[in-house]
Amino acid sequence: MSEVSARPRPLGLSSGFRVLIVDDDPDMSEFLAHMLRAEGMDATTATDGEEGIAKVYAEAPDLVLLDVMMPGVTGFEVCSRLKSDEATAMVPIVLVTALDDSASRVRGIEAGADDFLSKPVRREELIARVKTLRRLHETRRELERRRLAAEVESREAIRRAFSRYVSPRLADRIIEDAGSEGELFSRRAQRIEVVALFADLRGFTRITERTEVVEVVAMLNEYFSILTDAAYHHDATIFNMAGDSLLVGFNVPFPQEDAAERACLTAQEMVARFAPVATRWEQRYGIATGVGVGICMGEAILANVGSPHYTSYTIIGNPVNTAARLMQTAPANEVLMCGSVYHKVRALLPESSVEPRGEVTLRGKEEPIAIYAARVAVSE
Amino acid sequence: MTQSAYTVTVAKDLADLIPSFMNNRRKELETLRAALAKSDFEELRRLGHRMKGAGSSYGFDLVSTIGKAIEDGAKTSDAAAIASNLDTYEDYLAKVEIVYE
Which of A30, A69, A120 lies nearest to residue B56, judging by beta carbons?
A: A120
Q: Mean per-residue pLDDT for B71-93?
A: 94
Question: SS3 of A187, please?
Answer: coil
**A186 with A260: CB under 8 angstroms?**
no
Interface test with A, best of B57, B63, B66, B70 (most A CBs within 10 A): B57
What are the pLDDT digits (tens) for B3-16? 778 899 888 888 99
Interface test with B, best of A5, A7, A24, A27 (most B CBs within 10 A): A27
Q: Over 80: is that where the pLDDT of A5 sits?
A: no
Q: Mean per-residue pLDDT for A159-178?
A: 69
Q: Where do you find CATH 3.30.70.1230 in chain A?
A: 185-375
Cis amide prior to A120 (ω within 30 degrees): yes
Torsion sign, CA atoms A11, A14, A18, A21:
negative
Residues 6+ apart with CB under 8 A from A243: A200
Between CA B71 and CA A316 the distance in angstroms is 84
ipTM given for this complex: 0.88
Residue A181 is predicted with a pLDDT of 44
Residues 6+ apart with CB under 8 A from A196: A247, A248, A249, A295, A296, A297, A300, A315, A319, A320, A322, A323
- The CATH architecture annotation of domain A185-375 reads 2-Layer Sandwich (3.30)
Residue A3 is predicted with a pLDDT of 42
Of A64, A35, A39, which Cα lies nearest the Cα of B57? Answer: A35
Which of A26, A31, A38 lies nearest to residue B57, judging by beta carbons?
A: A31
Of A325, A338, A219, which Cα lies nearest the Cα of A278? Answer: A219
Q: Name the phi and psi angles at A24, rounded to 5.
A: -80, -10
Residues 6+ apart with CB under 8 A from A71: A24, A48, B46
Residue A2 is predicted with a pLDDT of 42
Q: Over 60: is that where the pLDDT of A14 sits?
A: no
Asked if B54's CB is within 8 angstroms of A120's CB, the reply is yes
Asked if B46's CB is within 8 angstroms of A71's CB, the reply is yes
Between CA A121 and CA B58 the distance in angstroms is 8
Round the CA-based radius of gyration of chain B to a whole number and report it: 13
**A291 with A285: CB under 8 angstroms?**
no
Strand partners for A95:
A66, A116
A18-142 carries CATH number 3.40.50.2300: yes
A363 vs A73 pLDDT, higher one: A73
Residue A306 is predicted with a pLDDT of 66
Torsion-angle region of A312 (φ positive above 0: left; ψ -120 to 50: alpha; else: beta): beta
Strand partners for A42:
A18
A38 vs B contacts (CB less than 8 Å): 13
Q: Over 80: is that where the pLDDT of A15 sits?
A: no
Q: Where do you find CATH 3.40.50.2300 in chain A?
A: 18-142
Question: SS3 of A335, please?
Answer: strand
pTM beyond 0.80: the answer is no
Q: Mean per-residue pLDDT for A351-357?
A: 89
Task: Give domain limits for chain B.
Answer: 6-100
**A67 with A24: CB under 8 angstroms?**
yes
Residue A142 is predicted with a pLDDT of 83
DSSP A73: S
Query: How much is the mean pLDDT over chain A?
Result: 84
Residue A13 is predicted with a pLDDT of 39
Residues of B with CB under 8 A from a CB of A: 11, 13-14, 16-17, 20-21, 24, 46, 49-50, 52-58, 64
Q: Over 80: is that where the pLDDT of A336 sits?
A: yes
- Count chain A–chain B contacts defined by CB atoms under 8 A: 51
DSSP run (H or E) holding A193? strand A190-202
Q: Over 70: is that where the pLDDT of A178 sits?
A: no
A232 vs A210 pLDDT, higher one: A232
What are the pLDDT digits (tens) for A272-331? 999 999 999 999 888 899 999 999 999 998 877 766 666 677 888 889 999 998 998 899
Torsion-angle region of A235 (φ positive above 0: left; ψ -120 to 50: alpha; else: beta): left
DSSP B4: S
Residue B91 is predicted with a pLDDT of 93
Neighbours of A6 (CB within 10 A): 7
Q: Mean per-residue pLDDT for B86-96?
A: 93
Strand partners for A202:
A290
Tell me the pairing of strands A354-361 and A368-375: antiparallel
Which range, of A82-91, A100-109, A328-337, averages the lowest pLDDT?
A100-109
A98 vs B contacts (CB less than 8 Å): 49, 52-53
Q: Which CATH number fits domain B6-100: 1.10.3720.10, 3.10.520.10, 3.40.50.170, 1.20.120.160?
A: 1.20.120.160
Q: Which of A27-31, A152-156, A347-351 has the highest mean pLDDT?
A: A27-31
